[in-house]
């Protein structure tokens, strides 16, 4: 009797264990429900030229707060609205685009999706200020999509023309951009410009006619706005290759519309600007003694140049001659002792400053030294 009870207890334990383990076939475990990405919450849209640019953060986690195993598929929905209308439950949405999971990376920039919806002739044929609404969904499985993103509504306006003939002048303190004035689009109240700058890979051939053909190290960044057709970039480094593009900005009431990019201008500024000549050159002549020959001590004012490398000293026998360099190396400080002088001679000294790019300044005014 006791043995029968023990066998019954063992059988019951095995049955309970089999229920806990489940009865799935051997292999990888499967999810109990579809993986659903979190909904997008930061969808934004802005008109640039003849397109709306949509941006949002790509979801990387599911509703269960688990990391997604791969990029989600993106569904973009679009609705056209009459002037003054806002999206509601009766809005006729249509799925305008689908970006498959394997193509998502081509639209990804620093964790954000950037998608361009090209406007059609029908879009521009509607009254100025007509609206378009957008929302997006993502899906990590074919059976389930995420919830709707936030909805954005943007108005369509006549696209301003991109600026033409962008030129860059290199100066010692600034890169000066100039371009041809762009006409004001119909209905716009005012116009300004925005200058964008990017770093490009060195060694590119002819400047590209389209910004998409340029090999950028990083996405373009706004260098600054300009109310006129000139912009001064004060924050640059010599020897660094830059790409500049300019967009015109039209004001329609409270809304602004940027044009497409201008033809880019590429420049690698070189430092060919010599420093200013040193000033305040003073000379002290020390006569010969039985123990030491005569020599000349020179000193001058410290150069204020930010990229100063040092100084060179020149000596001549005539006041109007440029002279020969007597300092064997670049002098780091504004002093020099000339021990190669001869008694009974008159010498003329000049000093030049040098920068780190190897540019030498004009020589200072000559100062004479008579050796007793």
- Write the secondary structure of the chain as one string of H (helix), E (strand) and C (coil): CHHHHHHHHHHHHHHHHHHHHCCCCCCCCCCCCCCCECCCCCCEEEEECCEEEEEEECCCEECCCCECCCCCEEEEEEEEECCCCCCCCCCCCEEEEEECHHHHHHHEECCEEEEEEECCHHHHHCCCCCEEEEEEEEECECCECCCCCCCEEEECCCCCCCCEEEEEEECCCCEEEEEECCCCCCCCCEEEEEEEEEEECCCCCCCCCCHHHCCECCCCEEEEEECCCEEEECCCCCCCCEEEEEEEEEEECCEEEECCCCCCEEECCCCCCCCCCCCCCEEEEECCCCCCCCEEEEECCCCCCCCEEEEEEEEECCCCCCCEECCCCCECCCEEEECCCCCCCEEEEEEEEEECCCCECCCCCCEEEECC
Check residue 27 and give its pLDDT.
52
- Which CA distances in Å does 266 have to 168, 209, 221, 235? 8, 11, 15, 16
Give me the tens of pLDDT residue by residue for the chain, a chain 372 residues long: 445 554 545 555 554 444 444 444 445 555 456 789 999 999 999 999 899 999 999 999 999 899 998 999 999 999 999 888 889 988 999 999 999 999 999 999 888 999 999 999 888 888 877 899 999 999 987 768 899 999 999 999 988 999 999 999 999 999 999 999 888 888 899 999 999 999 987 766 566 667 777 778 877 899 999 999 999 999 999 999 999 999 999 999 888 999 999 999 999 999 999 999 999 999 999 998 888 899 999 999 999 998 999 999 999 999 989 899 999 999 999 999 999 999 999 999 999 999 999 999 999 999 999 998
- Which CA distances in Å does 246 have to 45, 101, 116, 270? 20, 34, 19, 22
Q: CA-CA distance, 118 to 96, in Å (whole number)?
A: 11
Question: 198 and 218 in contact (C-beta within 8 Å)?
Answer: yes
Check residue 124 and give its pLDDT.
87
Question: 243 and 214 in contact (C-beta within 8 Å)?
Answer: yes
Check residue 3 and give its pLDDT.
53
Short-list 267, 37, 12, 19, CA closest to 146: 37
Q: How many CB atoms lie within 10 A of CB 276?
A: 12
* pTM over cut 0.75: no
- Residue 185 phi, psi (nearest 5): -70, 160
Q: CA-CA distance, 311 to 278, in Å (whole number)?
A: 9
Q: How many CB atoms lie within 10 A of CB 236?
A: 16
Sign of CA pseudo-dihedral 109, 114, 115, 116: negative
Check residue 313 and give its pLDDT.
98
Half-sphere exposure of 4 (CA within 13 A, CB side): 1
Check residue 30 and give its pLDDT.
53
Q: CA-CA distance, 96 to 75, in Å (whole number)?
A: 8
Question: Which domains are present in the chain?
Answer: 44-155 (2.60.40.10), 164-267 (2.60.40.10), 282-370 (2.60.40.10)
Q: How many CB atoms lie within 10 A of CB 323?
A: 17
């Amino acid at each position: 009797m006791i043995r029968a009870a023990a066998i019954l207890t063992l059988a019951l334990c095995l049955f309970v264990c089999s229920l806990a383990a489940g009865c799935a076939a051997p292999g990888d475990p499967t999810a109990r429900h579809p993986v659903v990405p979190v909904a997008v919450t930061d969808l934004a849209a802005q008109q640039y030229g003849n397109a709306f640019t949509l941006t949002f953060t790509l979801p990387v986690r599911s509703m269960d707060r688990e990391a997604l195993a791969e990029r989600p598929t993106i569904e973009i929905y679009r609705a056209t609205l009459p002037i003054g209308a806002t999206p509601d439950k009766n809005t006729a949405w249509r799925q305008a685009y689908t970006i498959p999971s394997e193509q998502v990376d081509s639209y990804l920039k620093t964790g954000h999706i950037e998608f361009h919806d090209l406007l059609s002739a029908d879009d521009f044929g509607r009254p100025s200020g007509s609206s378009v609404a957008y929302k997006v969904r993502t899906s990590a499985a074919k059976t389930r999509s995420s919830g709707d993103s936030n909805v954005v509504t943007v108005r369509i306006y006549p696209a301003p023309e991109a600026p033409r003939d962008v030129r860059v002048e290199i100066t010692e303190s600034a890169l000066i951009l100039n371009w041809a004035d762009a006409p004001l689009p119909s209905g716009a109240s005012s116009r300004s410009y925005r200058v964008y700058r990017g770093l490009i890979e060195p060694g590119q051939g002819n400047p590209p006619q389209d910004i998409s053909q340029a090999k950028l190290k990083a996405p373009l960044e706004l260098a600054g706005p300009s109310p006129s057709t000139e912009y001064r970039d004060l924050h640059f480094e010599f020897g660094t290759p830059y790409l500049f593009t300019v967009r015109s900005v039209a004001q329609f009431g409270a809304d602004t519309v940027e044009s497409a990019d201008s033809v880019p201008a590429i420049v690698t500024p070189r430092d060919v600007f010599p420093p200013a000549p040193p000033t305040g050159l003073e000379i002290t002549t020390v006569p010969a003694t039985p123990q030491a020959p005569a020599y000349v001590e020179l000193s001058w004012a410290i150069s204020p140049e930010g990229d100063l490398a040092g100084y060179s000293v020149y000596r001549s026998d005539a006041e109007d001659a440029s002279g020969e360099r007597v300092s064997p190396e670049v002098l780091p400080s504004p002093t020099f002792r000339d021990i190669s002088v001869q008694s009974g001679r008159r010498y003329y000294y000049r000093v030049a400053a040098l920068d780190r790019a190897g540019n030498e300044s004009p020589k200072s005014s000559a100062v004479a030294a008579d050796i007793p």
